[in-house]
Amino acid sequence: MSEIKYKILDNVIYTDDPGDNSDPKGVGHFYYTRMIQNRDKIAQIDGYTKEEDTFGSLLQRSVRTALTLLDKGLKPGDHISLCTNHHFNSPVPHIASFFTGLIMGAIEPKMSVKDAAHVLKQTLPKIIFVTSEAVTFVEKVIELIGTKIEIVVFDQTEQHTSFFDFIRPHKDEDSFKPKEVENLNETAIIVFSSGSTGMPKGICYSHRNMLCLTKTTQDYLKVLYSIANPYWNVFIICLQASIDRGFPRIVYPCFNEKDPWTLFYQHVDHAFLNTLQALHMVRSKKTEHVNLEHVKVLSIGGNPITAKQFDEVKLALPHTIVLQVYSQSESFNSILGFPLTPFGIQLSQKNVGSAGTILDGMSYKIVDIKTEKNLGPNEVGELRIKSRSQFIGYFNKDSTECFDFDGWLKTGDLCYYNENLCFYIVDRIRETFKFSIYHISPIEIENAILSLEPVETAIVIGIPHETDICHPMAIVKLKSNAKEISAKEIIKYVEDNFENKNRLRGGVKFVDNFPMTVTGKINRFKLKKMVLNNQI
């Protein structure tokens, strides 16, 4: 059933606790030690130019940046921020923050000014590191906040501070030692939620949360690629795995929508993409420079994927292990996954559509949300977890509702597991809605619509109704060059395949594109708002 040692008591799944082997001096000391050990190894490779950057060079720039921040009078506990795409210096402010006890809280260049201001108002950083393309955007954000924040530009600049001033030789760099934390439960970093169901919230990770990251990356994986922006926790997870294991990350500025296969122009062993990016890639034409010989693993996460879509990805990458990964921002580590072992790979192939199986150091239970009763195999309820990697709380915001009476983290996902301990996500509790006396699960209807050949993406939302509470409505994006399909045909298809309560009484609307969050998820919150405001 599982390679992981586990036991089940009262329908609660407990895995073996690997023990707390965290560096007692904190994340900064851990990074510093590992980067010295790996100083001659390649840390980063430019995906376009093939330029290489060693851990030694990355460490030197991080130390110099840390010292310059201290010279500017910043103290442990002060906040800094970042607004950039991927490049060799993107990780430097993050690493420098861990070296100094400063707390990073990044924003994203594709955010709205309003959302970015909402984020920065919470932390009020002293300094923000910005790519030149985002300077005007950040200036507008700071103006809206009405406070003073020093802008440091990664490129040359006349108006603001240049990042080159931070990485000049420093008299104290040879004697530098990172700050040692007094308590591993101190906040190490703040990562903001995607905002797919509301405004972004600041998620606080402690040093212990970060240092208990399980080593699921196998030794044969030598080169890592992830499209995750520095705003996202996956960026830090991949950076930390690279620093810990001493393997390089391939760096591209962003996901190339026009030629998504560019990520395989270079040797890549393990790639991380969200579901929509993976589907967009496999539906795009491959160019002659694509090298798939070394692509051992493609991990997909962020959005649910149907069995049909999963097969579509697998068909395009026949020699690659394609795995689903289930995680949430409130947990620094993955919550579910398949081990990169013969058993784990075989298990994933036998349980297509599963979000993964149990992982070391995690405890799981499925709970009836009405009665709080623990449920057994093949019973649908809310997935709740316990682990050292779960966040310590939201920044300056009450987070008690995120946990149950016994300290279990509520994932907000309706889920079940089978006899193989493979978990299946049924829906988000927050995305379900009521029609009359019935609960409607959007994902069931969405998956049915997605089985129609012309359909690329489908989202079902509840439209408020005077007497029925909500009516289901489908918003659909069709594949390019696909045969036509009408709203009536989609409505009839759902009517023929579901019971009466699931009928699309709210109708069907077609869109060319969906509003997206900065982490690559469809923004249901904004989508529903647009529908209600007749913008769609």
Q: Could you give all domains of the chain from N- to C-terminal order, each with its CATH number?
A: 27-211 (3.40.50.12780), 432-532 (3.30.300.30)
Q: Name every residue whose Cβ is closer than 8 Å to that of residue 257 and which is 6 or more positions away in sequence.
A: 280
Structure tokens at 409: 């983290």
Does position 221 have pLDDT exceeding 90, yes or no?
no
SS (H, E, C) 94-132: HHHHHHHCCEECCCCCCCCHHHHHHHHHHHCCCEEEECH
Collapse the DSSP code of 299 into the 3-class scheme (helix H, G, I; strand E, B; otherwise coil) and give the result. strand
CA 465 from centroid of its chain's CA atoms: 34
Where does residue 283 rank: exposed (0-12), middle (13-18), buried (19+ CB within 10 A)? Answer: middle
Cα-trace Rg, the chain:
23
pLDDT confidence tier of residue 217, bands split at 50, 70 and 90? very low
CA distances from 278 to 207, 257, 311, 443 (A): 32, 11, 12, 19
What is d(CA 338, CA 218) in angstroms, rounded to the nearest whole number? 12
pLDDT for 417 equals 98
Q: By mean pLDDT, which of 196-210, 246-260, 453-467 is the weakest?
A: 196-210
Q: Looking up tokens 């062993």, which residue turns up?
A: 269
Per residue in 153-192, pLDDT (tens digit) is 998 888 999 999 999 999 999 999 999 999 999 999 999 9
Helix (H) or strand (E) holding 83: strand 79-83
What the block records as the tokens of 406 is 């016994």
pLDDT of residue 198: 64
pLDDT digits (tens, 9 = 90+) for 284-314: 988 777 878 888 899 988 777 888 888 999 9
Share of the chain above pLDDT 90, in %: 62
Provide the β-strand partners of residue 47. Answer: none
The string of pLDDT tens digits covering residues 394-453 is 999 989 889 999 999 999 999 999 999 999 998 888 888 889 888 888 988 999 999 999
Whether the pLDDT of residue 82 is over 70: the answer is yes
Task: Please determine, for residue 258, whether its predicted confidence score (pLDDT) is greater than 90.
Answer: no
pLDDT at 427: 83
Reported residue count of the chain is 536
**Which residues in 9-36 are b (16+ Cβ under 10 Å) and which e?**
eebbbbbeeeeeebbebbbbbbbbebbe
Of 314, 326, 343, the closest CA to residue 420 belongs to 343
d(CA 416, CA 414): 7
What is the arithmetic mean of pLDDT over 257-278?
Answer: 87
Q: What is the pLDDT of residues 45-75, one digit of tens each?
A: 998 899 999 999 999 999 999 999 999 999 9
Look at 23 and 98; give whichever has higher pLDDT: 98
d(CA 516, CA 189): 24
Q: Is the pLDDT of residue 133 over 60?
A: yes
Mean pLDDT of 345-374: 92
Helix axes 307-316, 275-282, angle to 10 degrees: 50
SS3 call for 508: strand
Segment 189-196 shows an average pLDDT of 81
With a cut of 60, say whether residue 214 has pLDDT above it.
no
pLDDT given at position 216: 45
Q: Are 415 and 381 in contact (CB under 8 A)?
A: yes
Distance of CA 274 to the CA centre of its chain: 8
Tell me, what's the pLDDT at 97?
Answer: 99
Q: Indicate the average pLDDT of the chain.
A: 91
